[in-house]
Structure 1
Amino acid sequence: MNLQQLKTNFLRFISGTDFSKGVLLAFDMVLKVSVAYYFDAIPIGVSLAIGSFLVAPSDVPGNLKHRLFGMLTALFLGVSVTLLSGLLQMNIWLELPIYFVVIFFLAYISVYGFRASLVTFTGLIAFVLGFANLGGDNLIMHAALIAAGGLWFIFITSIYWILRPEKHQELLLGETAQLTSKFLAIRSKLGNRNERENLLKEQFNLQISINDLHESLRESLIGNRKRSGRSNSARRKILVFIELVDILELSIAHPVNFQKVDELNEDFPEMISAIEKLLILMSDRLQDISNFLIDGKTIQSHKKIPEQLQFIDDLIETYKKTEPYPQSRPMILLMRNLLDYEKKQYEKILSIERILGAINDRNKVKLGHRKIEQFITPTDYSFSILKENFSLSSTIFRHSLRLAILMIAGILIGHFFHLQNSYWILLTIVVIMRPNYGLTKERSKQRILGTVIGGLLALAIVLLIENPWVYVVCGVVSLIMAFSMLQKNYVGAAIFITLMVVFLYALIQPDAVNVVQFRIIDTIIGAVLAIIGNKFILPAWEHLEIENTIANTIEKNIAYLKEIDKYYHNKEKLSNSYKLARKEAFLAMGNLSAAFQRTSQEPKSNQKQYASIYRYTVLNYTFLTSLASLGTFIRTHKTTEASIYFETYVNYILKNLQAAIQKLNQSVQLEYNEDYSLDAAEEYLEKENQKLHDIRDQEVKEGYQEISNTLRTKMQEVQLISEQLKWLHQVSINLKNITSKKTYERLF
């Protein structure tokens, strides 16, 4: 990374919403403590600051109603748990059962999703702080001040959100454009057969991140539409988001059949190189769009992409003239299809540039989706969700029990060994504990590494500089950096959290060495407890749960295929049901990729099904890319009427997918028929293809060297749709026969 890139990253960091929220939190907490210090009322200032600290984690962008509800719920739990912890001043053996129930309940709330998990975090942090005795002797006053401090922080963050409502949206759009740019760059390298498997894995992981950004944008842009719907700027951002989703679909849609691409690479490598260069140029263009959204940099106009498109067109003509004809016709049609996709991709990029060029114009912008709110993934907050998950089969239920057991173990260790500040053990467990083993292990490593580095840095500063004002400044800066990095760089966050704690204690007591020593010891104890707990206490191994994820992915692909089939028969305006099915299929694939990634992080002894899970992941992704290719072609080209033989292929594909789901011990109801055999359908497609080739041959005999656009489109349609149907059918067979290694090898 060069100096310019470091400068850009630094400027983006300090101009980002995470950093500004960190500054806001630090300013609020320091102001409260400073004013209290001035009036010799430090406990009051500390209590008010704790209120801000407890509310801050649940301050995440999104729907305004959900945001306020989440923050108020977090504050309510924080105050309630503080009161409960203060009232429980009895024998430890009588307290432990109550602690267990409270911790389980707090952790179990996270069953409602991401925002609820942040509320859970607040409640657990409040529970841990109860052991730190920060509130003085008056418990009721302490709790009331926490509530007041939290309400004040909710108020000022809401003002901030109102003043800068669009900054976070622009950053999310910029990050989405950036990751989509990387996605295109990876696609450009897939022509390399030797690197393809690693690139596909990288692509899986990247799509997980893109899917998460898409969901955040849906909630931020669409969820707040009632408030910002009158803003043309907000409408234009929605249009940019829609185009970015389409670009992802187009980039996934080609190339699909790698066997064909490999043949083209051997036969005409110049074409593959030219397409690679084109993809890189479009990737760079998306990066320019990202820079505009994040940094406000001007998008410079250039003609490189149109020139490269023309170069590819010329290459096709050269191939056409130099290779034997009509034998070369199938390869020419393949190249034409690839070029068509790239042109559609470029049109989407141009559309984004036009929208951004008029982002603040006052002219009215209409959105084509009347029911655009359907695209937000709803969260069910009903009591039935708690009831349904109240069993050992639920991952969250097991996680809640495990967390409660480990927290009790941490309390007992601190009690019997009289560890200094033993609540750090509990804090470590709360921060790094995750429902699955892989993430907990990774978080533990990061926590220990960050604590050791932060402790050594803080110790060096404290030993070299004996100035309380330096400690104050370093502590405030550490608080800002820790909160800013918490979501995206946990090692960095752990470093600054440790720095902040050491500087705080350096102001209170002179022996900083002991502070660092005990913090590292307590962190290691907490991390070891978390890892052991995840491995041996009601373990939730991903490979045991992943069958449901695989089955869900296949079901979503089925729904997407049905919508494509429906649209092919009745090509009118693209329905919301089609777009919803597409969205659900992409999200399901992202979830499967994430589950596979978590499986790869589990102990080797638990990876006996790793090869099968990997094949399921790759085959489902291959199936989705083929669906995207088929759907995109039908949507963007004028096609003929769908035949009954198209239905025949679809029905056989559905039959195979049903068998694949049943093999996963799942049940699914599908309707399909076998009025026509697959052989008859294949024979029909071959006849249609030959009929069009005969027409073209006759044209050539009559002296018409240039093919008409109508005939070319029909030939492209028959070739692409027949190839995709055969490919989808083959992949569906492979999914049905997943236990066969030979099946997987044939696919690649």
Structure 2
Amino acid sequence: MRTPAINSRIVSTLPVFFSLFCAVSVVWYLQKPSVTTPFILGIIAGALVDLDNRITGRLKNIVITIILFSISSLAAQMTYGTGLPFILVMTLLTFISILLGVVGLSYRTFAFGALVVATYTTLVYHSETPWFVNPMFILFGTLLYSVTTLIFYIIFPNRPVQESMAAAYSALANYLDAKAAFFDPDEADYLEKRQIELAMRNTAIIETFNRCRTALFYRMRGQHRHPRTLRMLHYYFAAQDIHERISSVHVDYLDLSDRLKNTDLIFRIGRLLELQGQACRDIAECLRNDKPYQYSERLGRAVQGCRQSLKLYAEQYQGREVHAIQRLLENLFGVDYQLSHLENSEEEAANEKIGIAATETGGLRHAWRTIRSQLNFESAVFRHAVRLSIVFGLTCSFVEISNYSEGYWVLLTILLVCQPNYSATKSRINQRIVGTVLGVCVGSLVPYFTPSVETKLWIVLASATLFFFFRTNKFSFSTFFITVQALTSMSLAGLDVFDLTWSRLLDTLVGSVIAWAAVSYLWPDWRYLTLKQTGAKSISSNGNYLHHIISQFQNGNSDDMNYRIARRKAHEAAAALSSSVSDMSSQPRIYGNKLQDGFNLLKISYALIGYISALGAYRNRMANSDDSGFTKEFFSTADQVADILENIALYSEADFQTALNEMKSRLAYLQTLVQDDRQNNILWQQISLIAGQLEPCYTAIQSAQSDNIQPLAAEAA
């Protein structure tokens, strides 16, 4: 079935809308407005744990969801008001739910959903209501949403993966635009700033690639592979190849700008990158509209113009600088090949033995090993689990002792705004307060202007739907709409909304203050700054990536799964470093002198991955070598460079200096074997560029020691 061209967020919100419509219709038909809140909360909880999967996987997820929600809801319901048992249940549930998140996406999603359901159960508890009513309606709501999403999946089975792929090509377009800025000689003085911007955009690409991989993995687990799935798989591999080529660095861009500033070649290269970025946007738009992509003739003319300009330049200059520019343009021509053959290589993809790496390793034994490895205060997840458990335990104790029944809104606020790091928590607190203040201003007026049950049900339907529409990109908007929905649902239950307005405001403020205090004083993330470990992991992953490239050189270019996993892990580690530096830059007073160390590590890491990617992009052009001895020595030298990169954080200063001096000697000897061979020249140049980053890498990692943070952090706290 052809998917209509509708905004992706609207499409993803449709199951929520229809589930809510069915729920409010049932409430209206039964004339039971008092059950509106648990029914709606069940739908919300079901949507929070909705994971993309094939149909058998979705059925399995529904069973798991119902079992987990039943346990958590009944546990909260049966122990509510019992004092210590209830406090222990909520505290243990919080700790286990957060800790399970390290195992994988599905564990994290289901565990968080179970914790949310337990909290929801406390919000709708009434002593006069039979014990089974609220849990039952929460489960009904969850089941209703699950069935609705199943129906939508049957109608639009490929929509999620197409949307993920469209997002990947959009991110790729932004990355190409950022790379095009490197070829503007008038902006050469700002290349360092451009490098940081490119690193941040690379993080977005890795996130979208991982979503694509997850969607494709679940659709390829069965024996039958739908032609649309194979088409998306080809798009995914093409995007990965384009990303590797664009990430490649063959020259020093500052030197290139100086040499080419008076030629048309550098401007043609920048224009070609911009047009390729526009082509990626066109591909994304075609995916969203379910139309085939048409290769741009203008892009083809730009490629021909670059070829002609390169030919004229090569006639005037000789040597390594021409070889480097040729390699750079050959990479861009490789990108052009992928774009021009995107729609007519599906048969090749269907005939190849291809696969997608699992998104998470299954099995309880693996889960336990993963959790056990995190049971220490060096783990950010463990610190967050302990922090949130303490906060939950203390809050539940206060509510139980004071008999303040509305206090569990404080608990919900803490759950939603308290994040593993200070920056994310602060951002959520601000948005939560703004959204709640505006929400109570509007929601408190609903009973006065819409006294009928029918009108209130329509408001519940609209506000809950809009909550999901804005949930992933506008937290303040989603908070506003869910506040309106909550107050309207309470009005339907016969409660005094005006009194609840002030308690809701107070609870939000109290919960926000508690969350801020928790991330500021309970094992704050700046005290456990892992910049050195994150940077070392990024460098080490690049070493592993280089090992796999050399193996491909030796054994033939196959682009197998092991190679793609190594490449992905290198980019994921770089993205993790980029994310850490981004968090640090939002709090310069806290991180003090470590911020510059973070930026240095980030620049070096991305320079390194660029040089290695250039070798990776050259795999399919590697010709059979003669018996001059260069190739054998190159492989040995490159493996040694990769070994140093993989273990760079373990070297003492003396040992590293010894390894570095030996590497310089080997590179000097390797240069004597290059002779007048273009391929040898390219390989020697790239391995020299990679080796040239060894000393900056080691220096940057050593200077990133977490115990050297200046006391600015204490002042900020």
Counterpart of 2:439 (choices 434, 454, 459) is: 454
Task: Summarize deviations over 1:302-339 as a string: whole Å, max 9, x none.
Answer: 42112112222222233345x4x5xx443332322222
Task: Summarize deviations over 1:583-615 as a string: whole Å, max 9, x none.
Answer: 222222222222332333456234442222322
- Tell me the residue number matched to 1:317: 311
- Tell me the residue number matched to 1:334: 324
Alpha carbons 1:281, 1:305 under 8 Å: kept: yes
Across the aligned residues of Structure 1 and Structure 2, the Cα RMSD in angstroms comes to 3.4
Confirm whether residue 471 of structure 1 aligns to residue 460 of structure 2: no
Q: 276-285 vs 570-579, which deviates more?
A: 570-579
- SS of corresponding position for 1:374: coil
Report the alpha carbon displacement of residue 511 of structure 1 after superposing the two structures with TM: 5.6
Aligned partner letter, 2:339: I
- Tell me the residue number matched to 2:554: 569
Confirm whether residue 604 of structure 1 aligns to residue 589 of structure 2: yes
State the alpha-carbon separation in 2 of the partners of residues 297 and 337 from structure 1. Answer: 34
Q: 56-65 vs 334-343, which deviates more?
A: 56-65
State the alpha-carbon separation in 2 of the partners of residues 364 and 644 from structure 1. Answer: 33
Matched pairs, number: 689
Q: 726-735 vs 120-129, which deviates more?
A: 120-129
Alpha carbons 1:33, 1:46 under 8 Å: kept: no
- Tell me the residue number matched to 1:303: 297
Alpha carbons 1:543, 1:607 under 8 Å: kept: no
CA gap 1:86/1:563 in 2 versus in 1, 3 angstroms: closer
Confirm whether residue 109 of structure 1 aligns to residue 100 of structure 2: yes
- SS of corresponding position for 1:61: coil
Report the alpha carbon displacement of residue 348 of structure 1 after superposing the two structures with TM: 0.8
Task: Summarize deviations over 1:236-272 as a string: whole Å, max 9, x none.
Answer: 1111111011111111014553244233344x45222
- SS of corresponding position for 1:189: helix
CA gap 1:203/1:448 in 2 versus in 1, 3 angstroms: farther
Q: 459-468 vs 145-154, which deviates more?
A: 459-468
Alpha carbons 1:79, 1:143 under 8 Å: kept: yes
Confirm whether residue 174 of structure 1 aligns to residue 143 of structure 2: no
What is the TM-score with the length of structure 1 in the denominator? 0.83
Report the alpha carbon displacement of residue 15 of structure 1 after superposing the two structures with TM: 4.3
CA gap 1:70/1:107 in 2 versus in 1, 3 angstroms: farther
Task: Summarize deviations over 1:184-223 as a string: whole Å, max 9, x none.
Answer: 0110012333333333333223222221222222221122
Aligned partner letter, 2:584: T
- Tell me the residue number matched to 1:517: 502
State the alpha-carbon separation in 2 of the partners of residues 683 and 365 from structure 1. Answer: 43
- Tell me the residue number matched to 2:236: 241
- Tell me the residue number matched to 1:650: 638
CA gap 1:16/1:639 in 2 versus in 1, 3 angstroms: farther
Confirm whether residue 727 of structure 1 aligns to residue 715 of structure 2: no
Aligned partner letter, 1:685: Q
State the alpha-carbon separation in 1 of the partners of residues 330 and 582 from structure 2. Answer: 34
- Tell me the residue number matched to 1:661: 649
CA gap 1:632/1:380 in 2 versus in 1, 3 angstroms: farther
Confirm whether residue 280 of structure 1 aligns to residue 283 of structure 2: no
CA gap 1:365/1:585 in 2 versus in 1, 3 angstroms: closer
Report the alpha carbon displacement of residue 482 of structure 1 after superposing the two structures with TM: 0.8
Alpha carbons 2:123, 2:409 under 8 Å: kept: no
Alpha carbons 1:255, 1:261 under 8 Å: kept: no
- Tell me the residue number matched to 2:710: none
- Tell me the residue number matched to 1:157: 149
Alpha carbons 2:35, 2:493 under 8 Å: kept: no
State the alpha-carbon separation in 1 of the partners of residues 667 and 348 from structure 2. Answer: 49
State the alpha-carbon separation in 1 of the partners of residues 312 and 547 from structure 2. Answer: 40
Which structure has more relative contact order (CA 8 Å, sep 6+)? It is 2
State the alpha-carbon separation in 2 of the partners of residues 63 and 604 from structure 1. Answer: 47
CA gap 1:306/1:148 in 2 versus in 1, 3 angstroms: closer
Spell out the pairing of 1:515-664 with structure 2 (5 A cutoff): 515-541=500-526, 544-571=529-556, 573-602=558-587, 604-638=589-623, 640=625, 643-654=631-642, 656-657=644-645, 660-662=648-650
CA gap 1:85/1:578 in 2 versus in 1, 3 angstroms: closer
- Tell me the residue number matched to 1:369: 353
Q: 413-422 vs 629-638, which deviates more?
A: 413-422
- Tell me the residue number matched to 1:27: 21
State the alpha-carbon separation in 2 of the partners of residues 565 and 628 from structure 1. Answer: 12
State the alpha-carbon separation in 1 of the partners of residues 445 and 134 from structure 2. Answer: 35
State the alpha-carbon separation in 2 of the partners of residues 530 and 384 from structure 1. Answer: 30
Task: Summarize deviations over 1:150-209 as a string: whole Å, max 9, x none.
Answer: 344433322322322101111111111111111101100123333333333332232222
Aligned partner letter, 1:101: L
State the alpha-carbon separation in 1 of the partners of residues 223 and 661 from structure 2. Answer: 52
- Tell me the residue number matched to 2:714: none
Aligned partner letter, 1:348: Q
CA gap 1:205/1:35 in 2 versus in 1, 3 angstroms: farther
- SS of corresponding position for 2:257: helix
- Tell me the residue number matched to 1:699: none
Confirm whether residue 261 of structure 1 aligns to residue 261 of structure 2: no
Alpha carbons 2:257, 2:266 under 8 Å: kept: no
Counterpart of 1:409 (choices 373, 388, 394) is: 394
State the alpha-carbon separation in 1 of the partners of residues 218 and 381 from structure 2. Answer: 27
- SS of corresponding position for 2:460: helix
Alpha carbons 1:420, 1:518 under 8 Å: kept: no
State the alpha-carbon separation in 1 of the partners of residues 193 and 351 from structure 2. Answer: 40
State the alpha-carbon separation in 1 of the partners of residues 495 and 663 from structure 2. Answer: 85
Give 5+ residue unaligned stretches, structure 1. Answer: 1-9, 693-713, 742-748
State the alpha-carbon separation in 2 of the partners of residues 458 and 211 from structure 1. Answer: 40
Confirm whether residue 682 of structure 1 aligns to residue 682 of structure 2: no
Alpha carbons 1:183, 1:206 under 8 Å: kept: yes
Counterpart of 2:336 (choices 346, 351, 372) is: 346
Task: Summarize deviations over 1:687-735 as a string: whole Å, max 9, x none.
Answer: 63xx42xxxxxxxxxxxxxxxxxxxxx52x2332222111101111211
Q: 616-625 vs 149-158, which deviates more?
A: 149-158
- Tell me the residue number matched to 2:75: 84
CA gap 1:686/1:263 in 2 versus in 1, 3 angstroms: farther
